[in-house]
Amino acid sequence: MTLFMNEKDMNEMLASICPDGETYQGKAWGTLMSGTAEMLALGALSNVYCYVGVTEKTLVIAVLETFDISHIYGKICIPFDQFDELKVQKGLLPSQRIIKAKSGKTKIKLSLVNNSITAKIKDQKQGMLAICEVLERLKH
């Protein structure tokens, strides 16, 4: 059982759910926050760790199992052209960004931070910035 979120698992899990013909522009770990409708549908009642990626056309989220983060519990893939709402804002911490998105009945609230003691991901800050940059461009 994996104790820390790590680069190897992140790359393997996101690769396994990447839409055909697309490549990741940015990857990072994050936390899906409780109340996310999609999480409730998956049966999760509290915050859940996840790996997040953005391709040229899609936001991809690998939702991890609560007690064994080495397994995918569920996946969320939202093509950019299907967003009804999208916000990227600063969180309470200077290094935190909150992404709120809505696509049809799917609503997500995702927290990204650029460092953590629970994750061993070398380029977390760069991945987080790349994800936010791609999503920010969609709003304009």
Tens of pLDDT, residues 56-103: 999 999 999 877 888 898 899 999 999 999 999 998 888 899 999 999
Write down the mean pLDDT value for the chain.
Answer: 86
**Would the pTM count as exceeding 0.75?**
yes
Hey, is 105 helix, strand or coil?
coil
Hey, is 129 helix, strand or coil?
helix
- pLDDT top residue among 59 and 125: 59
**Percent of all residues in the chain with a pLDDT value above 90, rounded to a whole number:** 55
Q: Where are the domains of the chain?
A: 5-138
- Check: CB of residue 63 under 8 Å from CB of residue 53: no
Closest listed residue to residue 66, CA positions, set 51, 47, 52: 47
What's the confidence (pLDDT) of residue 41?
53
Residue 85 burial (CB count, 10 A): 10
CA atoms of 84 and 73, how far apart (whole Å): 25
Residues ≥6 apart with Cβ < 8 Å to 92? none
Query: In the structure, what pLDDT confidence band is assigned to residue 123 with cuts at 50, 70 and 90?
Result: confident
Fold classified for 5-138: PH-domain like (2.30.29)
What's the confidence (pLDDT) of residue 3?
66
